[in-house]
Structure 1
Amino acid sequence: MEQQKLPNSTLILVFGILSIVTCCCYGIVGLILGVVALVLAKKATQLYAENPEDYTGFQNVKTGKVLAIIGIVLSLLYAIFVIWLFATFGWEAMQDQELMQERMREMFDQ
């Protein structure tokens, strides 16, 4: 029987890469792509575990899974940072550069 490419192996790799690239989109886009990549990687890993001799492309799945985990961690860290910014400086300061500079001066002058 001829080996076939593991379903979604390239997609998992692409989503893993994109989860890292988009982690700075308030953490949301990277988080979504990372979780989707992990779910697809789990399904592909189960399929590969049943018949490893029938499929190729498992290296893409493993690499995509690692990249997705890194993307999820970075996205969560960035989301926590954004939440901290909003909690510390407020919504108004985030939209007004002068007010933000004033609040930063107040924060660091203490």
Structure 2
Amino acid sequence: MENNQTQEQLQNSTLILVLGILSIVTCCCYGIVGLILGIVTIVLAKKATKIYAENPDLYTGFKNVKTGKILAIIGLILSVLYLLFTLWAVMTFGWEALQDQELMQERMREMFDQ
């Protein structure tokens, strides 16, 4: 039996892929931007996966959704790690030291000389 139905692009599949990539690229923005993009990407991917699962023969682009979701998970992990590192650095050295290179060098010397 022939399938005469035309397939259409799964809604937001390209957007999910792009946001997944951006969640990794922006994880170094204190972890906040990558975290937000990763969460948004996972929510969009979950909705697209549900739509695709209802009738997979009607849609193309599910590979973009799967890839984008994997990238978003990686971006989330990197963002959380970077955010934790940033919080640790602020608590250890202080925000002023992170802004001033000389003060940072002084605080690091104090930390390692003990």
TM norm structure 2: 0.94
Match of 2:90 among 81, 86, 89: 86
Give the unaligned 5+ runs of structure 2.
Answer: none
Alignment of 1:5-84 (within 5 A): 5-84=9-88
* CA apart distance, 1:109: 1.3
2:113 alignment counterpart: 109
Instruction: Give CA-to-partner distance per residue, 1:13-66, whole Å, 9 cap, x none.
Output: 000000000100000111111111100000000000000000000000000000
Report which of the two structures shows the higher radius of gyration computed on alpha carbons.
2
Whole-angstrom distance in 2 between the partners of 1:91 and 1:81: 13
TM-score normalized by structure 1? Answer: 0.98
Q: CA deviation at 1:98?
A: 1.1
Quote the RMSD (CA, aligned, Å).
0.6
**Residue type matched to 1:41 in 2?**
A
- Distance in 1 between residues matched to 2:14 and 2:80, nearest whole Å: 24
Name stretches of at least 5 consecutive residues in structure 1 with no aligned partner.
Answer: none
CA distance in 1 between partners of 2:99 and 2:9 (Å): 49
Partners of 1:61 and 1:92 in 2: CA distance: 42
User: 2: distance between equivalents of 1:70 and 1:92?
Assistant: 31
Residue identity over aligned pairs, in percent, reads 76
